Amino acid sequence: MKITDWAVVFVLIVSPFLWLGSLHAENIREAGMLEMRYTTALRTAAQDAGSALNLNELQQYESGYGSQKWMRADKEQALSVLLQSLYIHFGVADDPLAQQALLVYIPAIVVMDYDGYSIYAAAEAAAADGSPEMTHRWSLKKPYVYADDYGNSISFTLDRYITAYDSGLDEWADGQQTELKPELTIPLLQDDEQFDQVRRTAIVRSIEEDLAKVIHRHNEFALKKGVHYTFTLPVIPQEEWNNTLDDVGVLVFLQGIPVGDRYYNNYALGGGRLVRSDAVLGGVNTGNGLKYYFRDTCPEADSSEYEVSEVFPGEREAAANGYFQAKCLKSGL
């Protein structure tokens, strides 16, 4: 055979492999892009839900009453925002059946409140005819509890505020750990650093144990819906847990969605941290008739020289409405 004949034979033999290789590479690229899309959707939804936790309508529910981290976490609103965000990103905002199908791939949603947590997941309940059925619902809020070998118990929060039972004194007490340690005989309260470590460990362990049970139960729910995938609790690094435990937040899992020849398996955390700032007031100077803006901590706020007429979310908005910067802001007060 001529060399050209051998070349033709070689091309005929190798071409299918090259084609399959390029096809596989293209599939990997598309799967990677799809995973990025899912991750973006998941993280965006978690952040939206975290922000929704602090949208309280009544002042008595706002944060800052006794603790900078206390707030009423609105889990129903957070859930609604999270799911709506996911529905939009997955293109099923107007398709109720597809929305129910998407829920099969969300084994658990956790809302971590100031003094406890709730999990939204599939659970068995009685149907209208009395027969058992699996449906999504919230668990009862579970406190962050800890007990030692001496019979003492502590209910933790996201900061150092606690409710404790001292078995030696046979009494209950609540308050800041630093204030209670000279009054109580509970060993854990005496070491500030150890207290914080144990507090974080106890909270994480409790959430992980309940999540493992919930996700294991979700496998039964998913199987009934025709999804043959084993849902498991992924490993969450301690650093991410530490960041989560600084404030109320949302933890959501998205698993089992086919992506190429593998399955998407990820989670996202969304914080409900509140950035507290002084209000920006707009007032008219009674002396010259000009409009000025200043924060409510400025001397102008309590001065009879100004008649406060408006409140703005920030200095930029005040300036856009024709207000000049007051002296206290110019001087950095």
Site of tokens 């005040």: 318
> Please, is 303 exposed, middle or buried when counting C-beta atoms within 10 Å of its C-beta (0-12, 13-18, 19+)?
middle
Enumerate the H helices of the chain as residue ranges: 3-52, 75-89, 96-103, 177-180, 192-224, 238-244, 315-320, 327-330
d(CA 284, CA 294) in angstroms, rounded, equals: 11
For residue 12, pLDDT beyond 60: no
Per-residue pLDDT tens digits for 104-123: 999 999 999 999 999 999 98
Q: Check if the beta carbon of residue 140 is closer than 8 Å to that of residue 288.
A: no
What is the pLDDT at residue 64? Answer: 45
Query: 324: exposed, middle or buried (C-beta count within 10 Å: 0-12, 13-18, 19+)?
Result: middle
- What are 217's two structure tokens? 């139960």
Q: State the pLDDT at residue 70.
A: 53
The pLDDT of 64-74, averaged and rounded, is 57
**What is the domain partition of the chain in residue ranges?**
26-141+217-271, 280-330
| DSSP 8-class letter at 278 | P
Residues 167-220 have pLDDT tens digits of 999 999 999 999 999 999 999 999 999 999 999 999 999 999 999 999 999 999
Q: Which residues pair with 284 in a beta bridge?
A: 291, 307
Q: Rounded CA gap, 237 and 239, in Å? A: 5
Decide if pLDDT at 132 tops 90. Answer: no
Structure tokens belonging to residue 286? 């009674």
Q: Between these two residues, 16 and 286, which has the higher pLDDT value? A: 286
Please give the structure tokens belonging to residue 106: 């969300």
